Amino acid sequence: MTRLSEYLLPTEKQPPADAEAISHKLMVRAGLVRQLGAGMWTWLPAGWRVHQRVVQIIREEMDAIGAQEMLMPVLQPAEPWRKTGRIEIEELFKLTDRKGSELVLAMTHEEAVTFHIAQAVRSYRDLPLIVYHFQVKERDEPRPRAGVLRTREFVMKDAYSFDRDEAGMEQSYALHVGAYDRMMDRTGLRWYRVEGDVGMMGGLGAHEYMAPCAAGEDEVVLGSPAHPGYAANVEAALTTAGVEKVGEEYFKDGERLTLEPAIEIGNIFKLGTRYSEPLGATFLDETGAEAPVWMACYGIGPARIVAAAVEQFADEHGISWPKALAPFAVHLVSIGKPGTPEREAADLLYATLLTGGVEVLYDDREAGPGEKFADAELLGCPLRLTVGRRSLESGEIEVQIRRGRGQGPSLPLDGEPEELLRAVDELWRSLP
């Protein structure tokens, strides 16, 4: 039951004093998240619904390419990290237990998954293999900022592919490129897949998925008319043949390129044998010879996708979710006190929508119309249905489409439930 009189949605009229990014301001004001400490955020019920929408899209596309979901711990022995040379990463949380054993809080799971593969994979017949999980990551971020965009703790989906050779790794990588492209399309975001640099991950190559928006900390270099398909982050661009930086501008073969701020929402890396060799992940090939497993890894941040959606589609009144990510499909507003005919009509409509499987948030609070409408626009569900005295007089439910704040086609208040549900479904399908 999602009656707003009983739902934890603490909206605010003013944003946090330190908030600069639109997503930081609106996600706090709309009651989606709350800060516990520097870089530590709690997802409240409506915010977590949005987060889990992203998770479900990712899970479906990962499962579709044959990936197997698992779960690895955040708290890990330090020794595998020492073997790979990553124990010295500054952002890695390091600690000891009561016995003095050295531990780390994982910021990513290459060491852990390779440890397991080294034990489980014996023969070329065990490969290829793709596994993934959704897990909390910890990062000793020196400058947490922008709400959920740069935090010290966050959930990430990381996947890992294991193959017999480089050609197999390339095939697995291509599978993930297709899956990630479909994920991005399904979220409703504007996005680019750009050439990236390997950074602390190491390996043979990388791509980043970037959502353009003004709050982005990264910059994307985009092609000119002569190079329409070119896209890279600024580090990778400078290693591309024909690209040079003159002042603050980039050129490729003399043609000026476009620079656009963006949020990194996913990244994928061809790791090769960067982790399998130091951690002993090998297999016996067809000839009985021992060879290292070839790996690639694939990360994506649900929280960053949520924030990017807020950044890209918000207006001066609040959030405007793409329908794939919205916490609820319908925000139902009742204008009428308990016991009045208009409240009874709104209660009946709420029951009809629930019975029909529509995800609806029902504002049945003792509050004025202005407050209810302002909160609905702030939360940004794609459809707002209003039932009040005018509805009883006209026999129609008032409909507002959140994107653009346009008036939608009115719905019959006293029609057959099946007719109403069919009309709501058709309206929903027409939305972005």
The whole-angstrom separation of Cα 179 and Cα 177 is 5
DSSP-assigned letters across all residues of 291-307: EEPEEEEEEE-HHHHHH
- Kindly tell me if the per-residue pLDDT of 201 is higher than 70: no
Do the beta carbons of residue 203 and residue 178 sit within 8 Å? Answer: no
Domain boundaries, the chain: 22-313, 330-429
> Do the strands 231-233 and 218-222 form a parallel or antiparallel pair, or are they unpaired?
antiparallel
Q: How far apart are CA 269 and CA 246, in angstroms?
A: 29
Residues 66-81, mean pLDDT to the nearest whole number:
98
- pLDDT at 225 (0 to 100): 77
In the structure, what pLDDT confidence band is assigned to residue 235 with cuts at 50, 70 and 90? confident
pLDDT exceeds 80 at position 202? no
- Give the pLDDT confidence score for residue 231 in this predicted structure: 86
Q: Judge whether residue 199 has pLDDT over 90.
A: no
Question: pLDDT-derived band of residue 229, with 50, 70 and 90 as boundaries?
Answer: confident
In our burial notation (b when 16+ CB lie closer than 10 A, e otherwise), range 167-186 reads ebbbebbebbeebbeebbeb
- CB proximity list for 412: less than 8 A, separation 6 or greater: 395, 396, 397, 419, 420, 423
- In sequence order, what are the residues at sequence separation of 6 or more whose Cβ sits closer than 8 angstroms to the Cβ of residue 15? 24, 25, 26, 28, 29
Q: Identify the DSSP state of 195.
A: E
For residues 287-312, average pLDDT:
97
Predicted local confidence at residue 200, as pLDDT? 61
How would residue 371 be classed by pLDDT, with cut points 50, 70 and 90? Answer: very high
Question: Among 1-5, 181-185, 197-201, 240-244, which range has the highest average pLDDT?
Answer: 181-185
Mean pLDDT for the chain?
94
| Alpha-carbon span 234 to 220, nearest angstrom | 6
For 129-175, the DSSP string reads EEEEEEEEEE---SS-BTGGGB-SEEEEEEEEEEESSHHHHHHHHHH
- What gap in Å lies between CA 3 and CA 353, rounded to an integer? 13
Averaged pLDDT, 325-344: 95
Question: Per-residue DSSP letters for 50-69?
Answer: HHHHHHHHHHHHHHHTT-EE
- CATH 1.10.10.60 assigned to domain 22-313? The reply is no
User: What is 387-423 written as a DSSP string?
Assistant: ESHHHHHHTEEEEEETGGGEEPPPEESSS-HHHHHHH
Per-residue pLDDT tens digits for 10-23:
999 999 999 999 99
pLDDT of residue 216: 87
Q: Which amino acid is at 232?
A: A
For residue 223, the model assigns a pLDDT of: 83
The proportion of the chain whose per-residue pLDDT surpasses 70, expressed as a percent, equals 98
Q: What is the pLDDT of residues 159-168, one digit of tens each?
A: 999 999 999 9
Q: What is the pLDDT of residues 372-393, one digit of tens each?
A: 999 999 999 999 999 999 999 9
204 band by pLDDT with thresholds 50, 70 and 90:
confident
Q: Which CATH superfamily is domain 330-429 in?
A: Anticodon-binding domain (3.40.50.800)
22-313 against 330-429: fold identical? no
pLDDT above 80 (res 1):
no
- With contact defined as beta carbons under 8 Å apart, do 108 and 156 qualify? yes
**In 3D, which of 266, 209, 204 has the Cα closest to residue 232?**
209
